[in-house]
Amino acid sequence: MSLFDELQQLMVEYGFRPEHRFSQHFVIDERLIAKMVECAELGSKDTVLEIGSGTGFLTEALLEHCKVIGIEYDPVLARVLQEEFDANKNFFLVEGDFLGIEKPEFSKVVAFPPYSISSEIMLKLFAFGFEKAVLVFQREFVEKLVAEPGFLEYNYISALCRVSYDPEVVIHNISPRSFYPKPEAYSSLVVLDAKKRQPKIKDYGGFVFFVKSVFRFRNKNLSNAMKSCRAEFESKLKITEKKTAKALEETGLAGKKVYLLEPEEMLVLFTRISR
């Protein structure tokens, strides 16, 4: 029986349909699921965080290798998961919004998260920290997530990703036919590996605010971008103009365009001005 047939059977048995308000597009491609599990390099000691477990097709494949913490916002699908995996002691269900949960204990992330809140999901995952993430997002978002300095797609999410992780796009073009209902755009499979030397960021929330703020002026040189953010930095980060000027001079980054800044350069600057 194909995954599409299994999905149809589940929808009849539990009386649900894909909900547009939850951005639901259920995976029906067995090869894609197998590739994600392969990329995750799972061991029996791993605990995987799965955001949006949905109908449990990926969940079932993951449970063959490790423990799984499934997050599901839709109460109907949460009931499906509870009943389908009730006997499996390695499955732990968290019913609710991923963006509102406390950090669970996990080592890796493997998921088809909802595309509508891709940035918010990644910001939360970066704050949590992880060894490896294997994720499917809309292709355009993945291009931004993995972009390097100087590229048009390079933005704050790219910098936050690359400061701590090495990204690789494993499948660039995943057909809409891999899902039901079909999404309007192509998707991509991306793998993020934690860097061996993880940077120490004492105030991660502050760093996120700093990077997002500066990237609002991506085409300005850093000195002018910092001036444009001066009021926000002083009120929210307690960063003084004097300290900023000194750090810019010491790092030699004042005249560099924001979109050309390496993530590590942003971190060095933030560390200096937030001491």
pLDDT of residue 21: 84
Report the CATH number that the domain containing residue 49 is assigned in CATH. 3.40.50.150
Chain-centre distance for alpha carbon 160: 10
Taking CA atoms, 222 is separated from 215, 226, 258, in Å, by 10, 6, 5
219 with 152, same domain: the answer is: no
CA–CA separation, 216 vs 228, rounded Å?
A: 9
Residues in Cβ contact with 144 at an 8 Å cutoff, skipping those fewer than 6 apart: 153, 154, 155, 157, 158
pLDDT at 127 over 90: yes
On average, the pLDDT of the chain sits at 95
pLDDT of residue 241: 85
pLDDT at 22 over 90: no
Of residues 38 and 86, which shows the higher confidence score? 38
Report the CATH number that the domain containing residue 228 is assigned in CATH. 1.10.8.100
User: Residue 210 in contact with residue 266, Cβ under 8 Å?
Assistant: yes
pLDDT of residue 243: 87
pLDDT at 23 over 90: no
Helix (H) or strand (E) holding 51: strand 47-51
Percentage of residues in the chain with pLDDT exceeding 70?
100
118 with 240, same domain: the answer is: no
Q: Total structural domains in the chain?
A: 2
Per-position b or e across 62-84, b if 16+ CB within 10 A of its CB:
bbebbbbbbbbbbeebbebbeeb
pLDDT, one tens digit per residue, over 162-186 is 999 999 999 999 999 999 999 999 9
User: Residue 122 in contact with residue 141, Cβ under 8 Å?
Assistant: no
248 with 155, same domain: the answer is: no
92 with 213, same domain: the answer is: no
Q: Which domain range does residue 228 map to?
A: 204-273
199 assigned to some structural domain: no
What's the pTM?
0.95
Average pLDDT over residues 111-131: 97
Of residues 191 and 245, which shows the higher confidence score? 191
Q: Which residues pair with 94 in a beta bridge?
A: 71
User: Residue 134 in contact with residue 36, Cβ under 8 Å?
Assistant: yes
